[in-house]
């Protein structure tokens, strides 16, 4: 049975507590007795007890409040996880896992050094890797080029929190020395990248995009940074995140979409998507709890991978919702996502929910051999991007794919969103209690300050019941994938995005056209748990048959 994450005492029966403290919350009811306030609280919870039942419960409710007070005297840092954990795998037989063979890469045509190094600004990781490996270009050349573009274009895009110039040049020179000595660490060796500013890197600020933390320096290296460093990648910048991982609004300027700088880049992986799309980094690392890789990748026309929950360690990163947070790459091509995932995946001994599973990616999959489902009901709905998605289905059929009509679980998935809110409110409990949330830029209904406060009124029983329903959804998804390998769905179709983030399934989103305002649009492929290899191979086959990912935002393109 699923181990439900975080039964936070700070939210249990908090709705009742508000009424017990009288005038502070409801001054017009200051004369009510405790049991009368309990009755009022019941109305908000949709419950009804008798007077005798309230009298019997009163002493224990007041006792719980005393317990809350003592617990709150202990300051619990953000990295501390709950004792209970989330496991996306449900009970019952599993598919036979594939052998964990070395990752394979696609072949490339002969590459030559361009006349100007900046002509490589939009090259894929795969292309850069081959040029570095064959010593056509050096890592230091690429690093200086990307640093220059970051400095030149950040005043328009507002995607950079901190340039890591000294660290980058040190890593680049080391990469060049090693490669000259015949030491080659793999396809990320010497490749410059950006890191979402939720992850700690010693000696740099880690601001979480929020004013209360804008000068925060964490004396730790996040696992994802260490893994990329071990692979020889070069960190050139910490990139913007929406405040506490929501949206494209942080304590600085709104991060912009390179395709339309009057438009935000969406979020919360706002900086990683914007910088990758504008050719300021070769790839970037983002995070997703509910759309934070998918949404900015769609807006900016990048290719984003949200891996299976538990694929990549979150150690050294900001925690928002322990049962939903995931780390993944934002790139310019599907295969780049595979190269990055291979470097950052696997258990590290710090994030207890990360497991070691095979990742036998190969680019040579035959689409006709895969069972690819599509959610017909969602494709036939009335929505803005329907023509582009219909063209995608038509293209897949032209490629020989026999699409299988499927239906997603018929359960109230949209009503489970408060699971995230409850966990996030616990992660930032002290921000609410000490009014630090007043410093956040966004102070509207759909923003963290209000969501954190509202979550205090979620009864613990309802949180647990929601997670039990979540388990039923996970079981239905297991049944669905018993008959298919991958399915395709409109990126924002129905409750699919929330559902996948609750069940832990991986997804890759990639551009499939441009609307009448020349803004990118996207399509989403969803895979089975821990089967990113099949998912990425299927998405790559479609991407290779199109050219949308090769388009460049004119303002930031390199003239030849």
326: annotated active-site residue: no
Q: How far apart are CA 438 and CA 12, in angstroms?
A: 24
Q: How far apart are CA 75 and CA 8, in angstroms?
A: 14
Q: How far apart are CA 281 and CA 337, in angstroms?
A: 14
247-286 burial, b for 16+ CB within 10 Å, e for fewer?
A: bbbbbeebbbbbbbbebbbbbbbbbbbbbbbbbbbbbbbb
What residue has token string 């929406």? 242
Contact residues for 349 (Cβ-Cβ < 8 A; gap 6+): none
Backbone angles phi, psi at 193, to 5 degrees: -145, 170
Helices (H), 304-410: 334-344, 376-379, 386-398
Contact residues for 378 (Cβ-Cβ < 8 A; gap 6+): 489, 490, 493, 494, 496
487-499 burial, b for 16+ CB within 10 Å, e for fewer?
A: bbbbbbbbbbbbb
Which residue of the set 10, 139, 196, 326 is catalytic?
196
Which residue of the set 139, 241, 265, 268 is catalytic?
268
Which residue of the set 269, 274, 292, 323 is catalytic?
292
10: annotated active-site residue: no
Q: How far apart are CA 152 and CA 558, in angstroms?
A: 13
127 cis-preceded (ω within 30 degrees of 0): no
DSSP H or E stretch at residue 69: helix 51-72
313: annotated active-site residue: no
DSSP H or E stretch at residue 543: helix 532-544
Residues with active-site annotation:
196, 268, 292
């Amino acid at each position: 049975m699923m181990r439900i994450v975080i039964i936070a005492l700070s939210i249990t029966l908090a709705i009742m507590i508000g009424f017990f403290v009288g005038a502070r919350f409801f001054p017009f009811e200051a004369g009510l007795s405790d049991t009368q306030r309990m009755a009022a609280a019941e109305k908000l919870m949709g419950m009804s007890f008798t007077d005798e039942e309230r009298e019997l419960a009163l002493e224990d409710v007041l006792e719980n409040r005393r317990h809350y007070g003592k617990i709150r005297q202990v300051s619990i840092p953000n990295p501390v996880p709950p004792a209970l954990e989330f496991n996306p795998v449900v009970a019952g037989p599993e598919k036979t896992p594939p052998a964990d063979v070395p990752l394979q890469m696609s072949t490339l045509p002969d590459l030559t050094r361009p006349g100007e190094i900046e002509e490589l600004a939009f090259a894929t990781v795969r292309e850069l890797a081959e040029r570095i490996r064959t010593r056509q270009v050096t890592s230091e050349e690429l690093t200086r080029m990307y640093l220059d573009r970051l400095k030149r274009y950040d005043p328009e895009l507002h995607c950079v929190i901190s340039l890591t110039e000294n660290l980058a040049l040190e890593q680049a020179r080391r990469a060049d020395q090693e490669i000259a000595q015949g030491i080659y660490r793999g396809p990320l060796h010497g490749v410059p990248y950006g890191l979402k500013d939720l992850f700690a890197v010693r000696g740099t600020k880690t601001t979480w995009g929020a004013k209360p933390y804008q000068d925060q320096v964490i004396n730790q290296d996040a696992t994802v940074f260490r893994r990329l460093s071990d692979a020889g990648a070069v960190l050139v910048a910490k990139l913007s995140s929406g405040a506490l991982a929501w949206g494209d609004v942080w304590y600085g300027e709104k991060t912009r979409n390179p395709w339309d700088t009057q438009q935000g880049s969406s979020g919360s992986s706002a900086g990683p998507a914007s910088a990758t799309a504008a050719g300021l980094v070769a790839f970037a690392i983002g995070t997703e709890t509910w759309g934070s890789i998918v949404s900015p990748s769609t807006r900016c026309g990048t290719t984003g991978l949200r891996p299976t929950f538990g694929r990549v360690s979150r150690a050294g990163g900001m925690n928002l919702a322990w049962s939903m947070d995931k780390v993944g790459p934002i790139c310019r091509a599907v295969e780049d996502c595979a190269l990055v995932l291979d470097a950052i995946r696997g258990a590290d001994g710090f994030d207890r929910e990360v497991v070691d599973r095979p990742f036998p990616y190969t680019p040579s999959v035959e689409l006709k051999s895969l069972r690819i489902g599509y959610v017909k009901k969602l494709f036939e709905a009335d929505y803005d991007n329907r023509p582009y998605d219909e063209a995608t289905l038509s293209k897949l059929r032209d490629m020989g794919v026999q699409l299988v009509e499927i239906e997603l679980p018929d359960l109230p998935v949209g009503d489970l969103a408060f699971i995230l809110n409850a966990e996030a409110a616990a992660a930032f409990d002290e921000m609410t209690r000490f009014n630090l949330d007043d410093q956040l830029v966004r102070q509207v209904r759909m923003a963290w300050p209000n969501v954190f406060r509202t979550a205090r009124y979620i009864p613990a029983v309802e949180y647990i019941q929601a997670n039990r329903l979540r388990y039923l959804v996970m079981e239905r998804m297991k049944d669905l994938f018993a008959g298919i390998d991958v399915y395709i769905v409109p990126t924002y179709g129905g409750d699919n995005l929330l559902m996948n983030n609750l069940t832990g399934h991986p997804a890759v989103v990639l551009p499939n056209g441009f609307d009448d305002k020349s803004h990118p649009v996207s399509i989403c492929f969803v895979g089975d748990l821990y089967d990113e290899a099949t998912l990425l191979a299927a998405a790559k086959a479609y991407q290779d048959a199109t050219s949308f990912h090769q388009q460049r935002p004119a303002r930031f393109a390199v003239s030849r």
